[in-house]
Amino acid sequence: MNTPATEQLHQDANGLDTRPLAEAANLLAQSQASAAQVTLDAIAPICGGAKAMANTIRSGGKLRYLAAGSSGLMAASDALELGGTFSIPAAQIRIHMAGGLPTTAEMLGDVEDAVDGLADELADMDAKDTLIAVSASGTTPYTVAAAKLARDRGTPVIGIANNAGSQLLLMADHAVLLATPPELISGSTRMGAGTAQKIALNMLSTLMAIELGHIQDGMMINLRADNDKLRARANGIVCQLTGVTPARADAALKTAGGNLKCAALIAAGAGSAEDAQTLLDETSGHLRPAMKRLNQNKETINLGETK
């Protein structure tokens, strides 16, 4: 039986414990850099997965992040950022981690094999949802069983794994193979494999946000401004998008109830929050075409007034 890549010995591992720490540190950094590069070979399935995630949010479905162990931590970290970064409603996000999210510094190891309660855990999963299933080996029983359930229910599956030909990838609608080299510490997939998983998950959610119109010119235009830092950022984004003063941006944000896209349109001349929202509804929530439509409307009115 062939040893999975994630369990093989790294070519530079021999004598690692006898080397100076600086040399070991250099090898660790290089192995992380090598792991990061593999995401470049998974662009197509990552883009396909991002579109599936965007469709789920539009249709009112749920994004279900599911994994065990360190892969579960990678998945959870992405899921937990979606609200504050892109204002994805919490009701549309689910985190399924084998054994539950840890509340102490101890993670149980045997729960990744426990699949008895999985059907109940995923009882309300349906075709509107998207399952983002992560497993370094691609064979974790908890994750593979969830993918099987998803297929039975017509739920799109994004499978992220670090071993080619693994069960999870074979069952996935969007198979994201992250062919990371063997770990410098054999089997410690929280390292290179985890780094690649984190990058792929960040790419998926960010590309999803682009599809939904939540990013423009590299700015988070759908962020949830719920602290002083983010309120200041929202103000700066409105200023950047429209060229207004901070005071006018602040007034627009207040009128829009903190909705950054609406605030930008109000600052640019939309008559009210309702008018701004109507423009966004007409452009499926995308600010750039909404702003273009607003400017066209203003030009039409100006032409009418000059006749």
Active site residue 81: yes
Q: Is 70 left (phi over 0), alpha (psi -120 to 50) or beta?
A: alpha
Separation between Cα atoms, residue 234 and residue 212, nearest integer Å? 18
The answer to whether 120 and 62 are in contact (CB under 8 A) is no
CA angle (111, 164, 158) in 5-degree steps: 65
Catalytic residue among 7, 23, 106, 112: 112
Non-local CB neighbours of 189 within 8 Å, separated by 6+ positions: 6, 70, 71, 136, 137, 162, 183
Picking from 259, 236, 257, the residue whose alpha carbon sits closest to that of residue 248 is 236
Catalytic residue among 7, 23, 81, 106: 81
- Residue 58's CB is within 10 A of a number of other CB atoms, namely 13
Torsions phi, psi of 40, nearest 5?
A: -65, -25
CA angle (73, 82, 173) in 5-degree steps: 70
Separation between Cα atoms, residue 287 and residue 282, nearest integer Å? 10
Active site residue 23: no
Which residues are annotated as catalytic?
A: 81, 112
